Amino acid sequence: MATDHIRYDVLARDALRGVLRRVLTDAAAHGLPGEHHFFITFVSKADGVKLSPRLLAQYPEEMTIILQHQFWDLVVSEDRFEVGLSFGGIPERLVVPFHAIKSFFDPSVQFGLQFEPSEAIAETPPTPKLPTSTAPAAIASALPPPATDADEDKPVPPATPGEGAEVVRLDRFRKK
């Protein structure tokens, strides 16, 4: 197989992080439209992540935050976002570089992105590869319940573009 000098895997990863950046930029400027809300999982000890010592002790490996009703001062820059959240009634300011993000999920439309650890995550060992059917508990709980026999009698509306979960895994394009 030929050597990929263009590095399509890096270009695709950066483009998908651009989707995340755009969504957060729009949320910072206009708030969250409709029922949209976001689950964002990131590596706690990645370079550039800023958490209080209390949160870092509580979430030493990774942390999932939810941007829905109670967040403030969302600021998005080219390489990171900053947001105010309350944890146990204590307000905190988080700084999360985009390279530290492992997954993004919007359960209102079943859309998700999953990222492989990047080279910029120096302090964290490589994450074991999980089957694509494995999801964090927070994401799994946001999914609709499985169909039952009683559901077979109900008419199923036709699918429209954009419906359903769309998780993009970049590792299948990488050389092993």
100 within domain boundaries: yes
pLDDT band at 4, cuts 50/70/90?
Answer: confident
Q: Is the pLDDT of residue 7 over 70?
A: yes
How far, in whole angstroms, is CA 143 from its chain's centroid?
15
Host domain of residue 22: 8-140+161-173
What pLDDT score does 163 carry?
Answer: 46
119 within domain boundaries: yes
156 within domain boundaries: no
CA distances from 155 to 146, 151, 175 (A): 16, 8, 44
pLDDT band at 173, cuts 50/70/90?
Answer: low
Q: Is the pLDDT of residue 147 over 60?
A: no
Return the closest-CA partner of residue 92 out of 132, 121, 138, 50: 50
149 within domain boundaries: no
pLDDT, tens digit, for every residue of 64-122?
999 998 899 999 999 999 999 999 999 999 999 999 999 999 999 999 999 986 654 54
**In CATH, what number is assigned to the domain containing residue 54?**
2.30.30.220
Return the closest-CA partner of residue 19 out of 175, 120, 167, 173: 167
According to DSSP, the β-strands at 80-87 and 38-43 are unpaired
- Cβ neighbors of 176 (< 8 A, separation 6 or more) are none
70 within domain boundaries: yes
26 within domain boundaries: yes
148 within domain boundaries: no
What's the total number of domains in the chain? 1
The pTM of this model reads: 0.66
